Amino acid sequence: MAKDLFVAKSSELPDGERKIVPNGNNEIGVYRVKGQLFAYSNLCPHQGGPACEGLLMAQVEEVIADDKTYQGMRFNHDDMHIVCPWHGWEFHLDNGIACADPKFKLRKYDVVERGDEIYVVT
Ligand code: FES
């Protein structure tokens, strides 16, 4: 049966921040980015590293002009990545799927804000 896990008061998780909360034998990382909340198991599917303790980075894209010339690289802030601190695997913030191999993903949880409190549904 699903239960709600208290994460924080809303004011304790401002935009661009994360909070990691205990959940049984594991932890859950909760992010607020551009007003949206996301929650993932803090357990990397590669070798069990604490994925949610890593950097949150924008997708790096190569820019190719219409004439096929290389124009350099840019950050795409609409596709943020969670970067596991152990070996650098990256996961899309919006769905937890590994960028390099979609067979792997972080376990995603529903996260809700009720009044001025944030909860993960476990
Ligand atoms: S344990 Fe996360 S990248 Fe290896």
Q: What is the pLDDT of residues 59-84, one digit of tens each?
A: 999 999 999 999 999 999 999 999 99
Domain range list for the chain: 4-121
Q: Is any ligand 1 atom within 6 A of the Cβ of residue 104?
A: no
Atom of ligand 1 nearest to the CA of 88: 3
Domain 4-121 - what CATH class?
mainly beta
pLDDT, averaged across the chain: 96
Judge residue 16's burial from the number of C-beta atoms within 10 Å of its C-beta, 0-12 exposed, 13-18 middle, 19 or more buried.
exposed
User: Distance between CA 120 and CA 118 in Å, rounded?
Assistant: 7
Mean pLDDT of 97-111: 97
Q: What is the pLDDT of residues 13-40, one digit of tens each?
A: 999 999 999 999 999 999 999 999 999 9
Predicted TM-score (pTM) of this structure: 0.92
Q: Is any ligand 1 atom within 6 A of the Cβ of residue 84?
A: yes
Residues 48 and 25: beta-carbon distance below 8 Å: no
Q: What is the pLDDT of residue 2?
A: 79
Mean pLDDT of 97-117: 97
Torsion, Cα 103 105 107 111, to 10 degrees, reads -120
